[in-house]
Structure 1
Amino acid sequence: MRSTYGWIAASAAILSVAFATPSHAQISDDMVKIGVLTDQAGLYADAAGPGAVEAVRMAIADFGGKVLGKPIAMVDADHQNKADVGAGIARRWYEQENVDVIVDFANSAVAFAVLELTKQKNKAMLVSSAGSSDLTGKGCSPNSVQWTYNTYALANSTVRALAKSGAKSWYFVTVDYAFGHALRNDAARTVEKVGGTIAGEVRHPLNSMDFSSYLLQAQSSKADVIAFANTGGDLANSIRQAQEFGMAQKQKLAAFLMQTSDIHAIGLQAAQGLQLATAFYWDLDDKTRDFAARFMEKTKKRPTMVQAGLYSAVMNYLKAIEKSGTDDGPKVIAQMKDMPIDDFFARNAFLREDGQLIHDMYLVQVKSPAESKGAWDYEKLVQVIPGKEAFATPEESACPLLEK
């Protein structure tokens, strides 16, 4: 009898070990390969770029370098802010280099081009720094997630905050491509919801240097708010030149997508007082400061929201592979939607069926030079905005995957 009980106990132990790791584990090519497709040297390079590559490298190292016993590899490339270049790189990665997931993007036009290819190849993509809300609206897919922010969340949060302070009429300075159009349209809809008016708009090419003609048109509109539906180098040039024209003395300036790197480039003297929405600030609490300190050791810079968000997205993607036992794109994305998500970046978070991560956003104000304690001490928290208030509701979304 004793030997029989011993055999049963041993069998139970073996079974418990077997079920602890998925017995059906399926890792294609015996490796999980992540492709970081971003702007490495253009106007979005400071906000995403090499820092995004480092964020993914940190996530892989922190995960242990392996998942389900298989190595995790990374490749990266510069899409040069050209959709055809980005799509060409993605096709090569998927068809020739066995890349399982492509991440980051930094440019919405590139993200849309890669999204179509990702669906065709049944792979996965994690969007961190491409912001068009259409990526999880009419372009939503079981193959993709939009992790860090979208244009709706930023515009909705910023417009409502400025409306409460008395702003009624708005003039938009918009970068002329998919991201800028989505940001402007999302902001305009919120302006109308809160009873405001659109005084006018001007569009400028991507990567513009001289904004004088656009700003003079905005100034002559007499609008309460000059709203910049651009980011990166375009935003930095816009704000600097607007301050040189003395526009902030008579009209409010609104930046819908301004990151820590943008404030660093513009300088507190020009950016002070601006209120903006963000998904992350490095100096929020001990958890964010810990990540920021490790990131700064490697990059000599504080992380932007899209760099921090990318780390979080990749870590949760790897956890989903571990839990699901496969690197099959749609299955991993589905697993991510079923998992609890809670880390230094994603607070009160869940991944919705449209692929949008719903999480807390933050309204912050840029400090004055006198308020700042030193380099990178640029923002102060004004308000925590719950994710369900910041992001579009299922009823507002054009995504067919959502139940209305």
Structure 2
Amino acid sequence: MLSHRFTTLRPLLQGAALAAALGLPAIGQADITDGVIKVGVLTDVVGPYSDSAGQGEQVAAEMAAEEFGGKINGKPIQVLLRDHKNTPDVATEQTRAYIDEDNIDVIVGIPSSAAALAVQAAAGDSDTIVIHNGAGTELLTGKHCRAQSIQWQYNTGAFTSSLGDALAREDDAKTWYVITLDHPFGYGIKEGLEKAIAPHGAKVIGHTYHGFTESNFFPILQKAMDSGADVIAIGNAGAGLIAAVRQASEMGVTARGHKLASVMTLLQDVRAIGNYAAAGLQFGVPYYWGQNEAAREFSERFRQRNGSPPSSAQISAYVSIKHYLKAVQASGSDRGTEVVAKMREIPIDDGITRNGYIREDGRVVHDMNYMRIRRPSEVDQALDYYELLRVIPGDVAFAPPNPECPLVKG
């Protein structure tokens, strides 16, 4: 089982200079329980989410630590890495190892909703903070919410409300066929789209759930086209999304009069699909490397370390750990209960996240970017595939707190 343990420290003067340049507060006294602030990245190291999450999340967490000089009040910040292999059993095992063996303070990353729910359960009533950066299931802030857990980047509702509301307003987008994963993330996509498009007189007329390792989408896409649906919505990610969009292009789905929509599209996916095949897709995304100057500055530093611009999940890992470390510094403690309370109290102010705050159910509410993938003739900078169509306010993108969460009052 892969388990890399290492510190992220750079020479303190270099880190302190970077912290000062970025305007971080001076380091004060801190009561760190075991003398080390431990950040545990739990991610997909070699599987289908390894490009969009993977060891790039480790790099992002390292970069956040370095902005604090690698230490808080002389106590080192360490970043550890474990691979959950996208399975609930392994995610459970690695979470328990992080808590019981490594005495980890915060677990971050966790692509895959099924794995994330397993982590949520395994963390249980421990004081370890869990920050979900890559799981879309709304159960994490619903009946499976947890006082020391935060869902930072997105949920299925934010994607489906953005996509459904935008497309279903069009006269030729009233019937939908949904292709999505056969697990909680996929179920949430179908239900969310049905809810989002109904007010516009649109409906889902068919759907197919597929396995996590599915690679042959030709028969599924043929079934979707045969249904006569105006819109064929693909609700998966990673290798599945790449294969589905490529095969849709080969089959001429859009040339035959269907609109092709992607519920969630990542930069690495577009690069793998190819700009020509992916052009025209519209979708919502929390973060994009070129969305503003602060994002571009971080992304350039990340690119120098990792070889390519960061994905939305990797940006999310960076800003969430930066906020976590600010809360450790401000609270003078690494105890989960105290740090989470401080994370809710202090503003999310990283220059990238817009209008962000943490609700009582653990949901980070923030503005979403609604994007279109540019055609090849419109791309004038390497990897700058996204065109911002509009900014969706966080209180519109994210539904109100779910009363099934025991933390929600009233």
Normalised to the residue count of structure 1, the TM-score between the two structures is 0.92
Report the CA distance between 1:121 and its aligned residue.
2.2
Match of 2:331 in 1: 324
C-alpha contact (below 8 Å) 1:142/1:334 kept by paired residues: no
Work out the CA distance in 2 between the residues paired with 1:42 and 1:183: 22
After superposition, give the CA deviation of every residue in 1:240-276 in whole Å (9 maximum; x if it has no partner). Answer: 0011111112111111110111111111100101111
Match of 1:70 in 2: 75
Report the CA distance between 1:43 and its aligned residue.
0.9
Match of 2:108 in 1: 103
Q: In the alignment, does 2:198 pair up with 1:183? A: no
Q: In the alignment, does 2:46 pair up with 1:41? A: yes
Q: In the alignment, does 2:137 pair up with 1:132? A: yes
Work out the CA distance in 2 between the residues paired with 1:43 and 1:329: 31
Match of 1:159 in 2: 164
Which secondary structure state, in structure 1, belongs to the residue aligned with residue 79 of structure 2? strand
Work out the CA distance in 1 between the residues paired with 2:95 and 2:260: 38
Q: Paired residue for 1:201, among 198, 204, 207?
A: 207
Q: Paired residue for 1:213, among 215, 219, 244?
A: 219
Match of 1:80 in 2: 85
Work out the CA distance in 1 between the residues paired with 2:96 and 2:179: 34
Match of 1:15 in 2: none
Work out the CA distance in 1 between the residues paired with 2:31 and 2:90: 31
Q: Paired residue for 1:359, among 360, 366, 388?
A: 366
Work out the CA distance in 2 between the residues paired with 1:368 and 1:21: 47
Paired residues for 1:219-238 under 5 Å:
219-238=225-244
Match of 1:94 in 2: 99
Match of 2:146 in 1: 141
Work out the CA distance in 2 between the residues paired with 1:192 and 1:357: 26
Report the CA distance between 1:364 and its aligned residue.
0.7
After superposition, give the CA deviation of every residue in 1:133-183 in whole Å (9 maximum; x if it has no partner). Answer: 211122211110011111110110111111123311111101111222222
C-alpha contact (below 8 Å) 1:134/1:182 kept by paired residues: no
Report the CA distance between 1:98 and its aligned residue.
1.2
Q: Paired residue for 1:279, among 282, 286, 303?
A: 286
Paired residues for 1:327-338 under 5 Å:
327-338=334-345
C-alpha contact (below 8 Å) 1:235/1:262 kept by paired residues: yes
Give the direction of change, closer, same or farther, for the CA distance of 1:124–1:226 in structure 2 (3 Å limit).
same
Match of 2:60 in 1: 55
Which secondary structure state, in structure 2, belongs to the residue aligned with residue 50 of structure 1? helix
Work out the CA distance in 2 between the residues paired with 1:76 and 1:194: 45
AA aligned opposite 1:313: S
Q: In the alignment, does 2:250 pair up with 1:247? A: no
Match of 2:404 in 1: 398
Which secondary structure state, in structure 2, belongs to the residue aligned with residue 142 of structure 1? coil
Normalised to the residue count of structure 2, the TM-score between the two structures is 0.90
Which secondary structure state, in structure 1, belongs to the residue aligned with residue 65 of structure 2? helix
Q: Paired residue for 2:311, among 294, 304, 312?
A: 304
Report the CA distance between 1:22 and its aligned residue.
7.2
C-alpha contact (below 8 Å) 1:119/1:143 kept by paired residues: no
Work out the CA distance in 2 between the residues paired with 1:88 and 1:202: 31
Work out the CA distance in 2 between the residues paired with 1:39 and 1:217: 32
C-alpha contact (below 8 Å) 1:22/1:324 kept by paired residues: no
C-alpha contact (below 8 Å) 1:309/1:345 kept by paired residues: no
Q: Let me know the Cα RMSD of the aligned residues.
A: 1.5
Report the CA distance between 1:296 and its aligned residue.
0.6
Report the CA distance between 1:107 and its aligned residue.
1.0
AA aligned opposite 2:326: K
Unaligned runs of 5+ in 1: 1-19
Report the CA distance between 1:36 and its aligned residue.
0.4
Q: How many residues align?
A: 383
Q: Which shows bigger deviation, 160-169 or 199-208?
A: 160-169
C-alpha contact (below 8 Å) 2:128/2:336 kept by paired residues: yes
Give the direction of change, closer, same or farther, for the CA distance of 1:98–1:22 in structure 2 (3 Å limit).
same
Report the CA distance between 1:397 and its aligned residue.
5.3
Structure with a larger share of its residues in helix: 1
C-alpha contact (below 8 Å) 1:145/1:355 kept by paired residues: yes
Q: Which shows bigger deviation, 179-188 or 217-226?
A: 179-188
Unaligned runs of 5+ in 2: 1-25
Q: In the alignment, does 2:315 pair up with 1:270? A: no
Give the direction of change, closer, same or farther, for the CA distance of 1:22–1:379 in structure 2 (3 Å limit).
closer
AA aligned opposite 1:137: G
AA aligned opposite 1:348: N
After superposition, give the CA deviation of every residue in 1:24-68 in whole Å (9 maximum; x if it has no partner). Answer: x43121111111000111111111012111111111111211123
Work out the CA distance in 2 between the residues paired with 1:210 and 1:88: 32
